[in-house]
Structure formats: C-alpha cells, structure tokens
C-alpha cells in the first residue's frame, strides 16, 4: 500500500512546496517509488521547483475530470527514474477538485506500485487544503518559528484530528513538525521561538529543522529541490528529516549558534 503524506500549514509562504519537493526527492533517492502532487489549483509552483514546468501537458484537474489519463499527466523526473510529478492546473478554479476524483487518482497511483504519495497542500483551510489532507496517513506540518505561523498551524492540527478519513474511522493521522527558516542566533536574542517553544505549543515532535539559508531560494530559482544541493546546510537538514520520516534516529542539527574557535576570533573569521 502507498503511504500518503500531506505537507501542510495554516500560513502561506512558509516553505511547503520546497519541503514537498525535497521530501519527494529524498525518498526517491533512497530507492522508493514516489509521486508528488500539487493541490494548489490556480497557483501552481511545484513544477517550477521540480524544474519540469516546460513539460506540463496535462494536469491534476485534467485527470480528475477524465480529460487525460494518469499516465499522460505524470511527469517523470529527469534525475530519478522512480520519481513523478503531477502538476496543478493554473487556469481552473479551486472547486475543480472533488473528493471522489482525488480518491480515484490516489488509488490509481497506489495500484501502479507507488510507495509514497506526497501531497503539496495549498495554505489555509479551503477546499484544496482539505482534499490534500483528507486521505493522508501522515502529515508534515511546516511552521516558521514565529507566533502567527504557529497559531495558524494549530488550526490545521484541529482539522487533521477531526476532518480526515482516518479521523472518521477513529484513527489518527501521524503528525510531524518541520521548522523552516530557523535562526539559532535570533532564538538566542528572543526574536524567534525555539524548537522547544513550538513543540510545547503545538504538542508535536520535530522531524526536521531547516536553517535560514539563501540556498533555498537559489535552488528554487534553478528548478532544483534544495535537498540536492548536498553541500548546503538546508539540504543536509532536509536529508535528516527524510531519514527520521523513515524511522531512522538522527541527532538534530542546526539548532544552536556555532561557537567560533580561538583562531576564528583572532583573525576575524
């Protein structure tokens, strides 16, 4: 059976699509067969970050409406043979997706032998976000360590606990916290919430802490998920998050200010 993972948040601009692309690549790099779906109808961005925007012929809505087959719409990644992208429509309304249509697509992907289906949710609590989370087995809740992002994510946790298929069956979606744009220096000065603060407020365990890094934007502009920029701290942090998602134990990195050594201080390094 395919494992369905929704990447969600209450607030826009926190890094959901960057996270979806990096998790999908990280899982594929470990040999799993992965499909990543853009649920943000009207505002698609996943294809840009995955570097396949020029190859979109049919989209998610075309498949839901029976205007194209899943095979026609899935875009095979050029870096990994076992990774596929299903783009959102840029021209349709958000109501173009239906629960029955989404379920059919997810069932077809599972029947086609996919191990993981990563659902890149739009922000907020409208229909696209609801459909992205409804069928999920696991949820990665993406949060910036600041008050408004945390508060909005608390609302998402309420929906995950009450408005999903698992909730209707008396089960729970497995929830994970992923902090993005984290700056230990700003945490030290009190400008930003710490990992412990956010965990306490939301009652979630952290699966990854992605440090504030220009590499994220640079990678997106190149159409390359940042996890593939192997020298980057952000890439290593995403790789750690994928490992933890798969049950590995890894120490949490990039959460403390790096102390300068004697010679760095001496020579201004």
Q: How far apart are CA 115 and CA 185, in angstroms?
A: 39
Q: Is 190 annotated among the ligand-binding residues?
A: no
Task: Say how far apart CA 195 and CA 27 lie, in whole Å.
Answer: 24
Identify the DSSP state of 267: H
Q: Does 14 carry a binding-site annotation?
A: yes
17 is in an annotated binding site: yes
Pair of tokens at residue 84: 């596929």
Containing 132, the helix (H) or strand (E) segment is helix 127-134
**13 belongs to an annotated ligand binding site:** yes
* Residue 55 CA: distances (Å) to CA of 52, 84, 115, 121: 5, 12, 24, 21
CB of 119 closer than 8 Å to CB of 38 = no
Q: Is 158 annotated as a binding residue?
A: no
Distance CA 122, CA 24 (A): 17
Q: In this structure, what token pair is assigned to residue 144?
A: 């910036």
Determine whether the annotation assigns residue 11 to a binding site.
yes
Tell me how crowded residue 83 is: count the other CB atoms within 10 A of its CB. Answer: 26
Residue ranges at the known binding site: 11-18
Residue ranges at the known binding site for ATP: 11-18
């Amino acid at each position: 059976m395919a494992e369905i993972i929704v990447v969600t948040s209450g607030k826009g601009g926190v890094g959901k699509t960057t996270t979806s692309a990096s998790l999908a690549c990280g899982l594929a790099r470990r040999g799993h067969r992965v499909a990543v779906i853009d649920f943000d109808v009207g505002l698609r961005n996943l294809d840009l970050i995955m570097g396949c925007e020029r190859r979109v012929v049919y989209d998610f809505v075309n498949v839901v409406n029976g205007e194209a087959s899943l095979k026609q719409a899935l875009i095979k990644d050029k870096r990994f043979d076992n990774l596929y992208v299903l783009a959102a429509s840029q021209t349709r309304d958000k109501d173009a997706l239906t629960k029955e249509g989404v379920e059919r697509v997810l069932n077809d992907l599972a029947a086609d032998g996919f191990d993981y289906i990563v659902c890149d949710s739009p922000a907020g609590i409208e229909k696209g976000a609801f459909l992205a989370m409804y069928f999920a087995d696991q949820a990665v809740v993406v949060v910036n360590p600041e008050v408004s992002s945390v508060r909005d994510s608390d609302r998402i946790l309420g929906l995950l606990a009450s408005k999903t298929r698992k909730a209707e069956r008396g089960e729970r979606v497995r929830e994970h916290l992923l902090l993005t744009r984290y700056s230990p220096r700003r945490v030290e000065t009190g400008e930003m919430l710490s990992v412990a603060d956010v965990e306490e407020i939301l009652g979630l365990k952290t699966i990854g802490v992605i440090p504030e890094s220009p590499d994220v934007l640079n990678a997106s502009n190149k159409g390359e998920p940042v996890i593939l920029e192997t020298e980057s701290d952000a890439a290593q942090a995403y790789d750690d998050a994928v490992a933890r998602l798969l049950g590995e134990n890894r120490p949490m990195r990039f959460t403390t200010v790096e102390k300068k050594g004697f010679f760095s201080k001496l020579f201004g390094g």
